[in-house]
A and B are shown apart, each in its own frame.
Chain A
Amino acid sequence: MIVGNLKPLEEIIESLGDYKNIFVLGCGGCVSVCLTGGDRQAHQLATELDHIRHYKTGKPKFTVHTIERQCEPDWLKDYLTIPENTDAVLTLACGAGVQTMAFFFDSLPVIPAVNTTFMGSNVEPGVWQEMCQGCGDCMLGHTGGICPVARCAKTLFNGPCGGSSNGSCEVDKNIVCAWAMIYYKLKKTNQLHRLMKVREPKNWQPAGGAGPRKLVRPFNKPL
């Protein structure tokens, strides 16, 4: 899932400028699950922003709402009603949601309140870890289900660098060396022969090197 983190409050307040009526919009999808941009966080942010101490002149008026996913254009179009006097939308969605909002409500400024950080999993309660960079050419089958693109600090493809020490990464001792994990996982599952295979250089075009990516699926058109 997509993991995001709330921007610093000062940055959000600065980006609100002189807008008087702000529509704070939470997203019920990924950012809700990672406790960043759901309905609860939207209300908490609006409550925090509502303090007069943040503003030199009068404080803006905040209206809060949450839609289940901001990255679904037809949901936004059919089910999201923005109050008439709204000056700007402050969205807690990921980058995909912010852009979908900005596209559909093109007469309104759309302000992001969240930094979209990575694709990851909830490894323990309250902890999300990066697992995937969406490189478009998955090689997890060769690396024991551990991604060197996302989890090696140097994105190395041919084994660990010289900085790997006792299973730790030289970038940060708290980071486990991805290639050490790959080695032990392959050893445990009798797949060490996979490391001996010489592979062609990775094709980075599906990772975005050939421009913005798009997926088109055939759709059964109704009558």
Chain B
Amino acid sequence: MRYFQVNDQCNGCLACVQNCPANALRAEDSDANRVLSHNMARCARCGNCYRICPQKAIEFQFMLENGWDEVKSLELVYCSVCGVPIYTVDYRRTLSEKLGKESEPTCSKHRDEVTRAAKAHFLKKKSPEIKPDIRSDIGSDMRGGAI
């Protein structure tokens, strides 16, 4: 989509080109035509062109409303449990490289469930013995009697 749009009332007077502070408008006379060009990267969207145009030819609403330009399309990876999209194939590759291993693609909900299940399994299997960490050389008087 072109954001800078000029309607049929434009008569090529160049008021917009001469008053653009960012030099984002250019006119070139070649062969039989005067061609008006707009540079979106330079444009500061100040609206000077729209204000100055004596023909009311600049449709500035397209600069304000905008639209979405597709810039990239990447293949998705879905949660292996519920099937919601979670990240892209390329992201998964980066993740695997950083982690040094492949992991099951799971969404945050199922990842937590899997983690909880794994922890429960681990704790059940290796229930650690809890021992009080009290040094025998420190008497209760040094702790104010409260241990």
Contacts and interface: CB of A to CB of B under 8 A. Distances in A.
B70 to A, nearest CB: 22
Contact of B52 (A28, A41, A125, A223): A125
Interface string B39-61: 00110101010011000000000
Interface stretch (B5-13, B18-26, B108-116, B135-143): B18-26
A144 interface: no
B51 A125 contact: yes
B63 interface: no
Contacts of A29: 44
A11 B44 CA distance: 28
Given A28-B22, A32-B22, A125-B51, A39 B94 contact: no
Contacts of A68: 41-42
Contacts of B95: 223
Contacts of A40: 20-23
B126 to A, nearest CB: 32
Contacts of B20: 40
Contacts of B91: 223
B124 interface: no
Interface residues of B, number: 15
A223 B21 contact: no
Contacts of A4: none
B98 interface: yes
A122 B41 CA distance: 22
B39 to A, nearest CB: 10
A138 interface: no
A32 B44 contact: yes
A66 B23 CA distance: 10
A122 B20 CA distance: 15
A32 B21 contact: yes
Contacts of A66: 22-23, 42
8 contacts: A32-B21, A35-B48, A39-B22, A39-B23, A40-B20, A66-B42, A125-B52, A223-B98
Interface of B: 20-23, 41-42, 44, 46, 48, 51-52, 91, 94-95, 98
Interface of A: 28-29, 32-33, 35, 38-41, 43, 66, 68, 122, 125, 223
Given A33-B44, A35-B21, 17 more contacts: A28-B22, A28-B44, A32-B21, A32-B46, A33-B21, A33-B48, A35-B48, A38-B22, A39-B21, A39-B23, A40-B23, A66-B22, A66-B42, A68-B42, A125-B52, A223-B91, A223-B95
